[in-house]
Chains A and B, each alone.
Chain A
Amino acid sequence: MSFGDWIGQLENWVFAVLAFGTLAGAILVVHSRNVIHAALGLVLTLGSLAGLFLLLGAEFVAWTLVMVYIGAVIVLFLFGIMITRAPLGYEIDLSHPTSVKVTAAIVAGSLFALIGWAFLDAFEAVEFAAVDGPTRTADIGISMFTNYVIPFEVMSFLLLAALIGGIVLARQDPEEADE
């Protein structure tokens, strides 16, 4: 497909805008010196990602992203930042020493390479059917509780463990508090 064909389709314009939003938000997250702006950048990234999922017809994933990440996780982030330190206008120096930056770049780069390679390796030869309308939520539910029931149970067990861990870490017994 030539570039002329690519640019002629409306979906690709939408894709370009959403991809730009994702990237711009991600850059704002790591580049902003204001923690609140960084968190809001994450909102932009996740919102654009939800848009990309909508473009793929994955409505359930898209709205889960909005509900869980934008509606709950980011709100908790913002809540946490605001209740502890929310310097308005005053911008703290958040930059790290060069050695940390280099390590972070290596970790991020290798993770990107690994995921990219894994995707290419797994799906290179697979021909995907064209998306025709949104996926039905009922189908997702059926496949989750038939084909993927063990991964689903493992995930819920992991989340339960994380939840208990969180409570144990945050909890302070009355006797200990008295000492």
Chain B
Amino acid sequence: MSFAVLLTIKVLAVLGLMIGGALVVIFAELKIGAHMQNRMGPYFAGGRFGWAQPLADGLKFMQKEDLVPDGADERVYKLAPYVVLMGTVGVFVVLPLSPRFVARDLDLGAFYALAISSLTTLGVLMAGWSSNNKYSLIGGLRAAAQLIAYELPLVLAVVAVAIQAGTLSISGIIEAQAVPVFTIGELNVALPYILTGQIIGFAIFFIASIAELSRIPFDMPIAESELTMGFVTEYSSIRFTMFFLAEYAGMLSMSALATAFYLGGYQLPGLSSTAIEVLGPVIFISKVFLLSFVFIWLRWTLPRFREDQLQSLAWRWLIPAALLNIAITATFKVVF
């Protein structure tokens, strides 16, 4: 196949995976949130269970007028959602759903994923500043302060994984988790990293990724009761949809990275490599949705942090813990 055809197929696959997955997670959030609050949730659109609600929402958003507030910096205002979405879509390129089903397996995939997702911070700041709205500006500033603080533990947690696996390639990290840890008679037992030393790393990564996504309990940047919707306040129509999509697709990409780094990715103990070739995507996506469920569960369970609590959690606890985790992992790597 020629390069152009292959590229088109890959782009469509990445976009389809991202948008389709995001729609499922949005629907899950509506339904699970409703059940946790003893409500019905959507039940009309599409018939049974109201399954078409996210699609209906999306179409409704797109029909609205694309407003630019008076006195806003129009160019920056219009560009911001693209930057945010770019940071989210970029991660999906390196996610391996099975040993072969991956858009591009980069040699430094893990590093690339963290680098490209840091673009989101820039887009959030652009949106917050250019809206010409105090709520937006404060929301943007809070978001930036939070994303800077939590990006460090996130990256440091991944450093420990990279040390243990000896590679930065996401497929490489997943393959490293298929290496048998011990044997019982004939049976080789391979365990994911969460069970072989990275449990603290997983906790740090997961907490930091909730903060990176600005979800409850870390949703100070978009705290509805005080900031309306933070940096998204002024956005309408397709640009609002893009922020909305980026939020839920970001949840998927963070879950997918956590799956790949800590939960063994497409591997499942006991399956042969041929079975993994076929079942890989199912296993990977199931694990991703499981983690997404935890995200949703926490959102409807916990109250919001205060700004100073949020900063002190990152700087006083998570970063030292992540550094300690690196030191311990490196020591074990050298000694054993």
Partner-B contacts on A (CB < 8 A): 34, 36-37, 40, 43, 59-60, 63-64, 66-67, 70-72, 74-76, 78-79, 82-83, 86, 88-89, 134, 136-138
Contact = CB atoms under 8 A, between A and B. Distances in A.
Nearest to A66: B115
Contact of A67 (B118, B140, B147): B118
Interface in B43-76: 71-73, 76
Contact of A75 (B108, B115, B148, B167): B148
B276 interface: no
Nearest to A64: B115
Quick one: which of A70, A71, A89 has the most chain B CB within 10 A? A71
Nearest to A68: B115
A174 B132 CA distance: 37
Interface stretch (B121-129, B179-187, B197-205, B215-223): B121-129
Contacts of A70: 118-119, 122
A30 B145 CA distance: 27
Nearest to B75: A37
Contact of B125 (A67, A78, A138): A78
B115 A137 contact: no
A4 B151 CA distance: 47
A88 B122 contact: no
B18 interface: no
Contact of B126 (A40, A60, A76, A89): A40
Contacts of A64: 115
A55 to B, nearest CB: 15
For the complex of A and B, 8 pairs with smallest distance between CB atoms: A71-B118, A67-B115, A63-B115, A66-B115, A137-B108, A78-B125, A79-B144, A75-B121
Nearest to A140: B108
A60 B108 contact: yes
Given A70-B122, A71-B118, A71-B122, A78 B144 contact: yes
Contact of A71 (B107, B121, B128): B121
B122 A75 contact: yes
Given A40-B76, A76-B148, A79-B141, 19 more contacts: A37-B76, A43-B122, A63-B112, A63-B116, A67-B115, A71-B118, A72-B151, A75-B121, A75-B122, A75-B125, A78-B122, A78-B129, A79-B125, A82-B128, A88-B71, A88-B73, A89-B71, A89-B132, A136-B107
A159 B121 CA distance: 24
Nearest to A81: B129
A63 B71 CA distance: 35
Given A66-B118, A89-B73, A83 B107 contact: no
B151 A71 contact: yes
B9 to A, nearest CB: 20
A134 B151 contact: no
B209 interface: no
A74 B121 CA distance: 10
B129 A86 contact: yes
A37 B116 CA distance: 21
B263 to A, nearest CB: 24
Given A76-B148, A79-B144, A63 B130 contact: no
Contact of A88 (B111, B116, B129, B140): B129
Interface in B295-314: none
B146 to A, nearest CB: 11
B148 A59 contact: no
B57 to A, nearest CB: 31
A79 B73 contact: no
Contacts of A138: 167
A82 B231 CA distance: 13
Nearest to B71: A89
Nearest to B126: A40
B111 A63 contact: yes
Nearest to B124: A75
Contacts of B112: 59, 63
